[in-house]
A and B are shown apart, each in its own frame.
Chain A
Amino acid sequence: DVKVTQSSRYLVKRTGEKVFLECVQDMDHENMFWYRQDPGLGLRLIYFSYDVKMKEKGDIPEGYSVSREKKERFSLILESASTNQTSMYLCASSLHRGNTEAFFGQGTRLTVV
Chain B
Amino acid sequence: AQRVTQPEKLLSVFKGAPVELKCNYSYSGSPELFWYVQYSRQRLQLLLRHISRESIKGFTADLNKGETSFHLKKPFAQEEDSAMYYCALSGTGFQKLVFGTGTRLLVSP
Contacts and interface: CB of A to CB of B under 8 A. Distances in A.
B96 A42 contact: no
Contacts of B44: 43, 90, 92, 104
B97 A41 contact: no
B94 A98 contact: yes
Nearest to A57: B96
Contact of B43 (A42, A50, A107): A107
Nearest to A47: B96
Sort chain B's interface into a size bin.
20 to 34
- A interface bracket (residues with beta carbon within 8 Å of B): 20 to 34
A42 B98 CA distance: 10
Interface string A40-69: 111111001010000010110000000000
Contacts of B92: 98
Interface stretch (B13-21, B56-64, B70-78, B99-107): B99-107
B60 to A, nearest CB: 18
A97 interface: yes
Contacts of A103: 45-46
Contact of B86 (A43, A50, A98, A105): A43
A100 interface: yes
Contact of A45 (B32, B93, B96): B96
Contacts of A101: 34, 46, 49
